[in-house]
A and B are shown apart, each in its own frame.
Chain A
Amino acid sequence: MKTKTNAKRRPSRRSNSTASKIMSAGLATATCVGLVGVIGVRTAQDSAAADSSSATEAQASAVAAATSTDGYTQAELDAYAAQLAAEAQRLTDYRAQLADAALTLQVSAGGNVSVTQPIPSVSKPSVSKPSVSKPAAQAAPKPQPQSTTKSS
């Protein structure tokens, strides 16, 4: 299939009349003024945008350097989180150490000992009543080598 060409000529936009030329010159001038205006506006906008951008960057760096909502930089918060993570790891290592001890105990006991790590409660007092006595000349059997008084 052949491509058909359009046989009609487009009408020329050019006009040779003087009035048209004057009008064209006027439009061209107006267009130039318009372009200058547009360019001027754009330049001003670019300048403003650049100012705005640098202001935003300055603001962003100020946030990074000074505060988050609680007064700490992101770097400080990251360091704090890393410190907490390191401490959590030490606790994990300790738990593993405790579990090893429990396993050794289990093996030596030759039975199935379940390992639990109860968390002390902070409520509901219930006291085991001790018997209290003055130390006798013949003291109580095998006292523990513990004193309840402070050592400094």
Chain B
Amino acid sequence: MSAVIRNLRAMGTDCSVICYAPADSGQLLADAAEARIELLEDCWSRFRSGSELNRLNHRAGTGPVQCSADLVRLVQAMRAAWEMTGGLFDPTILPSIKAAGYDADFATVIARGAIAASSGSLVVDPSPGMERVIVDEVLGTVDLPAGLGIDPGAIGKGLAADIIVDELMGAGADGVLVNLGGDIVFAGTPGDDPAWILGIEDERVAIDHPDRVIRHLEFEPGIARSAVATSTTLKRVWGNGRHHLIDPRTGDIARGDLVQATVVADMGWRAEAAATAALLMGAGRAPQWLSDHDLVSVLLTSEQILTDDTRIGAPSD
């Protein structure tokens, strides 16, 4: 059994695909995975002017809009994530995040220095939420109310990884891992290795620091699908302490005490939504909420590591 590993740049981030399959089919499956990433980015990206998502946003207020199955699935996941997190994961923060200066691919935003010009206080409002967004799965339509725009944020990457893993496994791969900028989804068996092992890095320390990896997560081979997602306020940072995480309750940049949240779930979009919600809840509320939702997590404040050791066993040295 051979592993085909592809590293690529997509969705504004570093991505990789690892495919375990016999003979040459691993290469073909990896090719298909790359093609699928490109298709999904074309459909969902808010940084591609012609993307189907942008077309949908431009037609807000015009009634139900015919959409592709991929876009309908994304909006369904957005809505489910919004409901699961009690509105803390909110795709309707789009105007706020644009007002904060994150209105283009992040590399572009940094390169042009536009953020420096928007370092004053934001004029923002609480986000409207997904309540009035109507998805008709049967007709394949999405109806956005006038003035509302949606941004999938990182659950787009999580859901993309879910889709690719499921489709490659459906095609017959023995094992697949897809990592889209830290949203990792995997299934099956990792070749001859005894387990899927993932490292959680600590964004508070330098990338070459010996303590950079703070935990290893081990998953038994042969699992149907599992996902690990990390959200942090320590990356995608610009200007005067700004970052990409918007609090929908205020419409302003989030200012919680957690700086990093890693969540394990059955699906990438769910793990990502929960990680985002945990950051917004803060250290006082997030551990209990994650536990209530049967989600394993590793949370970081600026000073300590919080993890649900009672459920996942004490870390071993």
Q: Write the residues of chain A forming the contact surface with B, with a CB cutoff of 8 angstroms.
A: 69-72, 80-81, 83-84, 87-88, 90-91, 94, 97-102, 104-106, 108-109, 113, 115-123, 125-136, 139-152
Q: Is the CB of A131 within 8 A of B230?
A: no
Cβ of A80: which chain B residues have Cβ within 8 Å of it? 55, 66
B258 within 8 A of A: no
Mask, B80-117, CB within 8 Å of A = 1, is: 10000000000000000000000000110000000000
Interface size on B, residues (CB 8 A): 100
Q: Is the CB of A104 within 8 A of B226?
A: no
Interface residues of B in 260-317 (CB under 8 A from A): 260, 262, 264-267, 269-270, 293-296, 298, 307, 311-313, 315-317
B198 within 8 A of A: yes
Q: Is the CB of A105 within 8 A of B21?
A: yes
Interface of A, secondary structure class, is loop
Q: Is the CB of B203 within 8 A of A149?
A: yes
Q: Beyond A80-B55, A101-B32, is A149–B232 a contact (Cβ under 8 Å)?
A: yes
Q: Is the CB of B181 within 8 A of A151?
A: yes
Q: How far is the CB of B263 from chain A (nearest CB, A)?
A: 9
Q: Is the CB of B226 within 8 A of A127?
A: yes
Q: Is the CB of A130 within 8 A of B166?
A: no
Q: Beyond A146-B184, A150-B231, is A128–B226 a contact (Cβ under 8 Å)?
A: yes
Interface residues of B in 97-150 (CB under 8 A from A): 106-107
Q: Beyond A140-B197, A150-B13, is A132–B171 a contact (Cβ under 8 Å)?
A: no
Closest partner residue, chain B, to A68 (CB atom): B62
Q: Is the CB of B218 within 8 A of A131?
A: yes
Cβ of A97: which chain B residues have Cβ within 8 Å of it? 28, 31-32, 35
Interface residues of B in 1-58 (CB under 8 A from A): 5, 12-14, 16, 18, 21-25, 28-29, 31-32, 35-36, 39, 42-43, 50, 52, 55
Q: Is the CB of A130 within 8 A of B316?
A: no
Closest partner residue, chain B, to A134 (CB atom): B315
Cβ of A90: which chain B residues have Cβ within 8 Å of it? 39, 42
Question: What are 24 of the A-B contact pairs (CB < 8 Å)?
Answer: A71-B62, A72-B59, A87-B68, A94-B32, A97-B31, A100-B28, A101-B25, A102-B171, A108-B24, A113-B172, A115-B172, A117-B166, A117-B170, A118-B166, A118-B170, A127-B266, A128-B266, A132-B216, A135-B216, A143-B197, A145-B16, A147-B201, A149-B260, A152-B235
Q: How far is the CB of A141 from chain B (nearest CB, A)?
A: 6
Bound-state Cα–Cα, A72 to B13, Å: 36
B246 within 8 A of A: no
Bound-state Cα–Cα, A88 to B43, Å: 11
Cβ of A136: which chain B residues have Cβ within 8 Å of it? 316-317
Q: Is the CB of A101 within 8 A of B166?
A: no
Cβ of B70: which chain A residues have Cβ within 8 Å of it? 91
B73 within 8 A of A: yes
Q: How far is the CB of A146 from chain B (nearest CB, A)?
A: 5
Cβ of B312: which chain A residues have Cβ within 8 Å of it? 129-132
Bound-state Cα–Cα, A100 to B31, Å: 11
Q: Is the CB of A133 within 8 A of B24?
A: no
Q: Is the CB of B39 within 8 A of A102?
A: no
Q: Is the CB of B62 within 8 A of A120?
A: no
B253 within 8 A of A: no
Q: Is the CB of A127 within 8 A of B264?
A: yes
Q: Beyond A127-B264, A149-B235, is A122–B77 a contact (Cβ under 8 Å)?
A: yes
B254 within 8 A of A: no
Q: Which of A87, A145, A146 contacts B42 (CB 8 A)?
A: A87
